[in-house]
Amino acid sequence: MIDKTFIFICLKDFFRNKKKLSKIFFTFFLSLFVFSSVLVLESSIKQELNKSSVMLLGGDFEITSGKNPIQKVILEKIKKNFQISEIIEFNTIIRNESESLPIRVKAFDENYPLVGELKITPEKVMKNNENNIYVNKNTGFILDLKINQKVKIQDTFFVVSGFIEDLPDLNNFFSYGDFALIQKKSMNSLDLNNLGSFLQHKYKVVKNQKNDQSLKNLLKEEKNLKIRSSNDLNEQLSKNSNNFIFFLSIVSICSLLISGIGLYNSLLSFINSNRLQISIYKSLGISKFRVKVLMIFQIILMLVFSSLFSYLLSILTVNNLNKIFDTDLFSSKYKFSFFQYFAILSLSLIILMTFLFPITKLLDKFNISDLLKKNRQNLEFSFDKHSILICSFFLTIFISITSIISSKTYETFLIFIFFIICLVLFFYFSKFQNYLIYFLNTNNITLRIIKKNIKNFSNFNSIISISMGVGFSIVFFIFISSSSINSQINKSMLNFAPDYFFVGIQKEDYKKFKYAINELDENAKNKIVKISSARVTKINDLAVEKIISKQNDSFWFINGERRISWQEKIPENNYLTKGKWWDKESKNLQLSIDDKVAHNFKLNLGDKLTLNIAGRNVVGEIINFRKVDYTDMTINFAILINPQYGNKIPFEHLASIKFSENKKINLKGLIDSFPNITYFDLRIIVKKTNDFLNKVFLGGGLISSFVIFIGLLVVCSSFKLIESFKNYQNMIFKILGLKPKHIIRILLIEVFLISIPIIVSSLLLSTVVSYVFINYIIGFEWHYPATTILLISLTFLISLTTVIFISNFKNLTKNTYSQLRRL
């Protein structure tokens, strides 16, 4: 059937066709470049995001064992399979000769840090024979510390060996404000029993590359150990990054679907441009089967070359993105992965196979008489039942594979449904357009030619309409979704997070404190609330420890004293999920509870909580639930009480202060004036969180812009499908007396008549689908960037006009006769 000679003919034909094939190669390449770039970007960003969260935690996992260390047997078991660094954290007071300051101390072992870098100035190694201490810059500033100066913790002297510029595992450690690092062996000189309830033994754990045993499995029997992985580092960050990665996979699927459109159009162009050649082959006695093999061979060879080339280029591009965008978002050492290339090639082959069968069926329609009669009439092609069946088969395989490998199978499947609905809708839409054009009765020659063109090229117009419709729907969908996600990320940025928290402001100090802040910075934004302490002892008269287990996600709510507050109005960043705000007539204790706690404890409105406030048990009624966003780092409370009751109990004030940007603030005076006030510095963690979100923001914007740009190119290129037919017709128009500008006007009006209704419809469709996707699948707030969408649509129309104008003007102003002979 296929002999060596034939393979030789195929190869020769492939190289002889290089000019024709180069155009197709470009389309293939563009489509596959989008897909492979998104895949490479996705993997690269996943790696980097994972690295960021691992860095914030200080390892892949963090085990907390509370006041007591982990038993040696268990520790040995962990050490066998993982790298581990042991840390002890505690709150204490650091003193110099004259002053003191509350700080959080981290005592570390020789393995610290397992990931990331500890930056100290001046760079100096701790001396082994002394108790060394590194302090954060603020502590150094407040206590006016110098290198080698001695400070005291409890009764032990420590030598200041450096100031901390940055440390990797800031997560949670930050919330205690000022901090210091000491060596673990120095702990021997401290009295651990006097370190209070904030003492915690922590273990940072990194996976051993040779071992993939799950830590959670290894420690499943140890109920007292709390294990956190880098994935659940921070709920909001994690939600953002998970959704972002899901969004990336949606974008990569969309890019593959766009690639599919590109592939389909290029195949049609290729077969069309080889029409004469195929007829000649047939006239020379080459069988239908061999002609098909000849074409398929060239197409597959092209696919292999272009996929390889596009994959290599996408790696090169991604590896250089950090330099281009001056960021460290992307992995700059991304390497060729045969598996990934194979996945790209296989998925593109499945897409190719989806369309190949119906397109090769077209080859049967080219016959020798066409060649002899110089027939340049459009091909009539439509999918018969057999073709539809085969297309559906391959499409089902493609949908199944990509949905299964996606992290969110169900949601990915829904995106495909959206794609299929788009295909069907725009198929009928193009039919409807043709139907409407049929009723256009006019004596105007321009409009009559347009009507004739739309009718004559209805087959191609259907493909163009479907390509444009699906392409635009995907592009708009990606755009609206990405701007909603980016808007959410932007909101998650801690732009409004305060710089400091001040706790323990007494009633009598309140006015003085406010005045002092105003003196420091008159533009400082401050929020000062009244607070008290309470412990939840009973729920509906049942002791909490009997009905709430330690494993409950909201156990913290009943574990010890909680700060409570009262406010006249609902806090700005909270909203009610159930119930009403305070009943001002009632003098009894009313409670507003965190919605998530209520859910975890299965609380209902009207339930009674017994609170121990200042040693007295008081029963309060839950009258509403609130959605509380703790991630914005502003003042938030899980329990709010009604002001009528709150004003009757002893209280102090809690303040959050955000100073003006770029203003250098010296807190030393403030701290000296208010020795009883404790303050927490939030600036480092705010910066770290914002850096992380900035990366996600930039990555999302970059990828979606890239796919949108290529998507528009693919849509634009769909008009190239009928270019050769149109060129021929336009040449005859010119011979018969139509001027080039008249012909271009006809082409442009025709393109606008086809594309504007499609742009409008795909915009409507993608608006609805993105609304559902963002609100109900991603769970973010939907954001509609109307102006930018208008700009994108206008840019597309202007680009399309320019492309059509330039390509046709070039053809129409060239020598007519030589052009005609070439066509």
Which residues of this protein are in contact with another protein, per CB under 8 A?
370, 373-378, 445, 448, 452, 456-457, 725, 728-729, 731-741, 813, 815-818, 820
- Please work out, in degrees rounded to the nearest 5, the angle formed at the alpha carbon of residue 638 by the alpha carbons of 633 and 640: 110
The enclosing H or E element of 710 equals helix 683-717
Select 544 or 746, whichever has its Cβ closest to another protein: 746
Q: Which two tokens stand for residue 524?
A: 């400082």
- Least Å from the CB of residue 346 to another protein: 40
- Which residue pairs, CB below 8 angstroms and at least 24 apart, start in 437-445? 437/753
Select 56 or 738, whichever has its Cβ closest to another protein: 738
Contacts of 104 (CB under 8 A, 6+ apart): 89, 90, 91, 173, 176, 177, 178, 179, 180, 198
- Least Å from the CB of residue 720 to another protein: 19
Dihedral angle over CA of 563, 566, 571, 577, nearest 10: 90
- Least Å from the CB of residue 272 to another protein: 13
Select 707 or 731, whichever has its Cβ closest to another protein: 731
Please state, in angstroms and as integers, the Cα–Cα distance from residue 711 to each residue in 34, 422, 715, following that order: 9, 15, 6
- Least Å from the CB of residue 717 to another protein: 23
- Least Å from the CB of residue 426 to another protein: 23
Select 402 or 808, whichever has its Cβ closest to another protein: 808
Select 456 or 559, whichever has its Cβ closest to another protein: 456
Tell me the sheet residues that pair with 106.
89, 181
Strands 525-539 and 608-613: antiparallel
Select 89 or 370, whichever has its Cβ closest to another protein: 370
Please name the amino acid found at residue 343. Answer: A
Please state, in angstroms and as integers, the Cα–Cα distance from residue 775 to each residue in 220, 341, 474, following that order: 36, 34, 18
Tell me the sheet residues that pair with 101.
94
Select 532 or 811, whichever has its Cβ closest to another protein: 811
Q: At what angle do helices 683-717 and 458-492 cross, to 10 degrees?
A: 170
Rounded Cα distance between 33 and 707, Å, is 10
Rounded Cα distance between 488 and 481, Å, is 11
- Least Å from the CB of residue 822 to another protein: 13
Rounded Cα distance between 233 and 171, Å, is 8
End-to-end CA distance of the chain: 34
Please state, in angstroms and as integers, the Cα–Cα distance from residue 46 to each residue in 694, 782, 811, following that order: 15, 24, 48
Select 436 or 445, whichever has its Cβ closest to another protein: 445
Select 223 or 821, whichever has its Cβ closest to another protein: 821
Select 230 or 453, whichever has its Cβ closest to another protein: 453
Burial category of 324 from C-beta neighbours within 10 Å (exposed 0-12, middle 13-18, buried 19 and up): exposed
Rounded Cα distance between 156 and 319, Å, is 51
Three-state DSSP state, 745: helix
Select 161 or 462, whichever has its Cβ closest to another protein: 462
Rounded Cα distance between 811 and 123, Å, is 69
- Least Å from the CB of residue 468 to another protein: 22
Helices (H) and strands (E) in the chain, counts: 24, 21
DSSP conformation class of 675: T
Strands 150-153 and 82-95: antiparallel
Select 375 or 802, whichever has its Cβ closest to another protein: 375
Place of tokens 């073709």: 387
Select 445 or 756, whichever has its Cβ closest to another protein: 445
Length of the chain (residues): 823
Please state, in angstroms and as integers, the Cα–Cα distance from residue 383 to each residue in 214, 357, 459, following that order: 51, 10, 11
- Least Å from the CB of residue 18 to another protein: 19
Rounded Cα distance between 611 and 645, Å, is 13
- Least Å from the CB of residue 361 to another protein: 20
- Exposure string of 613-628, with b = 16+ CB inside 10 Å and e = fewer, is beeeebebbbbbbbeb
Select 349 or 371, whichever has its Cβ closest to another protein: 371
Rounded Cα distance between 311 and 344, Å, is 8
- Least Å from the CB of residue 257 to another protein: 31
- Least Å from the CB of residue 283 to another protein: 17
Select 377 or 551, whichever has its Cβ closest to another protein: 377
- Least Å from the CB of residue 734 to another protein: 7
Phi, psi angles (nearest 5°) of residue 181: -120, 135
Q: At what angle do helices 288-325 and 275-283 cross, to 10 degrees?
A: 150
Select 77 or 742, whichever has its Cβ closest to another protein: 742
